[in-house]
Amino acid sequence: MAMQAIRTVAEMTAIRQQITSSVGFVPTMGFLHQGHLALVKRARSENSIVVVSIFVNPAQFGLGEDLRTYPRDPQRDLALLEEEGTDIVFMPASEEMYPQGFNSWVEVGEVTQRLEEASRPGHFKGVATVVAKLFNIVAPTRAYFGQKDAQQAIVIEKMVADLNMNLGIVVVPTVRESDGLAMSSRNIYLNAEERQAATVLFKSLNLARQLWLAGEKSAHEIREEMISLIQGEPLAEIDYVSIADAQTLEELKEIDRGALVSLAVKIGKPRLIDNIILE
Would you name the residues annotated as active-site residues?
A: 36
Binding ligand PAF (rule: CB under 6 A), the pick from 50, 131, 154, 243 is: 131
- Residue 195 and residue 182 in contact, taking contact as beta carbons nearer than 8 Å: no
CB of 234 to ligand PAF, least distance (A): 30
How many beta carbons lie within 10 A of that of residue 131, not counting itself? 25
In whole angstroms, give the CA distance from residue 277 to residue 16. Answer: 36
Among 47, 60, 129, 141, which residue sits at the site for ligand PAF (rule: CB under 6 A)? 60
Q: How far is the CB of 168 from ligand PAF (least distance, A)?
A: 16
Q: Is 270 in the site for ligand PAF (CB under 6 A)?
A: no
Query: Residue 148 or 195: which CB sits closer to ligand PAF?
Result: 148
Let me know the angle formed at the C-alpha of 24 by 163 and 277, rounded to the nearest 5 degrees. Answer: 70
Examine residue 187 and tell whether it contacts ligand PAF (CB under 6 A). Answer: no
Min separation Cβ 256 and ligand PAF, Å: 31
H and E: helices and strands count for the chain: 9, 9
Measured from the CB atom, the residue of 61 and 212 that comes closer to ligand PAF is 61
When binding is defined by CB under 6 A, the residue of 6, 23, 29, 259 that contacts ligand PAF is: 29
**End-to-end Cα distance, the chain:** 42
Work out which of 12, 28, 271, 274 binds ligand PAF, going by CB under 6 A.
28
CB 1 within 8 A of CB 89: no
Q: Which of 24, 27, 35, 140 binds ligand PAF (CB under 6 A)?
A: 27
- CB count within 10 Å of CB 272 equals 24
Q: Does 116 bind ligand PAF (CB under 6 A)?
A: no
Binding ligand PAF (rule: CB under 6 A), the pick from 6, 49, 91, 130 is 130
- Alpha carbon of 31 to those of 20, 145, 183, 255: distances in Å? 30, 16, 11, 37
Nearer to ligand PAF, 188 or 231 (CB): 188
- Using an 8 Å Cβ cutoff, are 153 and 171 in contact? yes
Selection from 171, 173, 170 nearest residue 47 by Cα: 170
4 - beta bridge partners?
A: 88
Dist. CA 54–CA 30, nearest whole Å:
5
Stretch that binds ligand PAF, among 22-30, 70-78, 85-93, 255-263 (CB under 6 A): 22-30
Q: Does 57 bind ligand PAF (CB under 6 A)?
A: yes
Question: Residue type at 14?
Answer: A
Q: Is 137 in the site for ligand PAF (CB under 6 A)?
A: no
Contacting ligand PAF within 141-160 (CB under 6 A): 149, 152
Return phi, psi of residue 174, to 5°. Answer: -65, 135
Instruction: Establish if 274 lies at the interface with ligand PAF (CB under 6 A).
Output: no
The least CB distance from residue 23 to ligand PAF, in Å, is 17
Q: Cβ closer to ligand PAF: 134 or 236?
A: 134
88-90 vs 49-54, strand pairing mode: parallel
Residues that bind ligand PAF (CB under 6 A): 27-29, 57, 60, 127, 130-131, 149, 152
